[in-house]
Structure 1
């Protein structure tokens, strides 16, 4: 979040009442702090500043600064400590360890992947998904990053320590750290530094640091490639590459290293060609992606959700390689020279497209390229808000053979890790019972427990008591001791299999300024839904404004925010119109009690 420079909106001294409220909020968020420690963090007489900032993605945050060092930052009404606070209280948050080379990735904005986590002899800290946690380096307890847990500790272990572990928001040496006195982390000896494990195995640190970093990078790349196969993901491969190159180019420009001029001859795409590609993607996005009902539209959202998706295959849209260098300058040229759009600065650093001239000659005569006709969704009548047809994905529950149940499946030649459908599990268990003549002769509804079934399905306390089980109990115990998986098939795409549960669509209600309610919808992309189309459909249904916002810690997901408590309407839209099964929608129980019952 702070990998790039942020903009300061205001910097004021905190009031007495706000100081007391801040102290109460910190005590509630971090109950392990004592009264003396709270007073040390929020002193009664020393000057404490409240700094309002905008992150580079447009997120509005609040910083609390003491002695020129930021102590806490508030995001979506949740407090997070900075590394300056954690260096004084390193045990404030659950901690995950990693290797020193990983820190460079975290500073650049990457999340902590599970292959890079160093597991101590005491095991992983117990966290739930979304819990605030910190990251430390091997042999030093001083935290170097702060974020939220991407999954719970149990899911980390069940996933075999693969995937995303911590969604990093702030790290040592990022721009938030640079806003303070830029001090280095203290040296705090780690008592558990020796005998550490990486994914359950013991290694020498010098031999595996680079290996674990490579594993971490490979895991992140695999996750990105798998997400690219999801049709609802709004950031394509070209878009992601373009964003990464844009980030690197901006960092180089800020450092003033002048490498861009030195390597001018090595550029793969001259400015003239990139300018033409930029204009083509711009016109393509206006003609086939943007609807009148979406305006006003944040320029960052327009670039991420529309322009990048219009980039022809095999090319990468990189504004830094164009003559404009920045999106704002390009849009100003489109406004002044071509009169295609009208751009307005909503707040400092946050611009929005407020008007599009649909009758512009250049836009009217632009032809959508044939190679991307199947990806475009033309909307000749800009007032109807038509959206492309949607077909829900097919979701199938699967089960993976665990080590405990492997003896039960050996006769069927199914080893540990084999993924089966529930019907296959039932068939294999039934054949095992029949082949070993375990059906109770007196009552065919019961199965006699032999040593293999005893070891696989019974608890230790049941070994001497349970001699037989009903068929249904037998099947449920077998499935309950297997690793849950799922298969999702998006229309026109190959099946995708993953461990764990299918992430549900999350609907929640939050309060904004003046206690106004807003409804937030997350994880629409998981089901191949276009968040922009869902937001537009909700606008028509409830006659309230909706916006798309990036989700902190996620590079390719956005949430839909709509005014008021609209859970009933959102549920009806998802279940009736999009045919999403109710079991994959979370939060319907939070609807107003006076609403229409379904």
Structure 2
């Protein structure tokens, strides 16, 4: 749960009464600790801090920090030791062994899967479901992860060591570890296996075995740093500083100096570059005032160098408004103003600013000015590629377990069909008498049938099987704009909505919304329509919606709007709503 950065809410010194309570709670949770060991962990005089944080998923967590190292974290009124404590007391928790390559997956937020657990000669540790336990690497007793047992030891054996073994909460090299002094794990060889591999065999892992072992760890959809492979028989006996130094030297020799920067610093630098590039080469004075969302989407994104992706959420600013405020305060380059409630616009640009004047456009970023299109559109519009996806629901999770697709995993329709087909063939469910039918087993019954069908339906046609599966998954969609990272969202994509309303003395106006969803600039669309139909147009904020505006143009202009969206912008008809409200007698599109 600490694979991504967390937010610190407060950091205060612990009170005397709370110190005593903490010591009592630790003693209750970990009765194997002696009185002297408790006093070392919770000393009477040394400064001990209580740090309250919010994990990236919103979980409230309390940390207890001694000498700048987090010793314990409390989640849902339960105490867990950090790796810093376990390196001092490695026998504090029952531990499961795994191979070093699996550590990279655990750091990324994956759970420890049972196929990746190494069973020692004495057998698995005796745990019950939910018990706090640790994860170690082969031939090193120093724990590298902390979590809870997904099932009991008895169930692990009955399952044939398949499925999830440990639900990992905290690992070496995650953000909780980085909150401390960042020391590396000590080398604590097991007396029984020192100098040997598992069961007395030399511990050698070739490339093919490493690839197979990596499959044991279940991937999570969250970014993580790449951790160098450790020695196959445990973590190499080098200090963390020596490892980092050696790694840095190698990367500098390879010319990868940019990788030494923090990801936020790299994204901040890219933001500034695209910002200056857009102001210098893309924005025209006639465009002002310019919606900040339009400036980002149509100008800054187009200035992003090929091979790189602009993502404000990965910068230190997190939001476009904060970034523009910083540019206004630090460089006095632009002036941002809220012209309408909830909608910010760039109202002024200092074209003579020294920072802008001295900026040199990087080579290979496509600085050639595009031919001005109708209505002042500077760059040709390319409709996004929209794909329907499906998310695994809780009800269907048993059907996808063999492929480690957990609840919430987003899949292409072809992937869903393949997984269902493979499941049917693996379980030999194809009807022997009629290959067009699939026999319903208990899993398919629970996942796909209604209660009234349990006793009646014994088989389904392939098409019915697939349609029922898709129907019980949550529909999602992916939007890919040229040169930008794919955007995945749950639910149905909002169509461009065209409607007609009455204003004043029964005067008609045409309203258009959701243009931004398809990468269209409402300002440009309004200008083009204004020229086409020779009628006035205005932009209005949509209540309760950020970075979206409504285009309003005089008269019933649905026919012209339809022509513009279908022919000029090439938006598929199925993503446009309201074309049927065109005036009678108008040419149907």
Question: Shorter chain as normaliser: what TM range?
Answer: 0.3 to 0.5
TM-score, structure 1 length as denominator? 0.42
TM-score, structure 2 length as denominator? 0.42
Higher Rg of the two aligned structures: 2
Q: More relative contact order in 1 or in 2 (CA 8 Å, sep 6+)?
A: 1
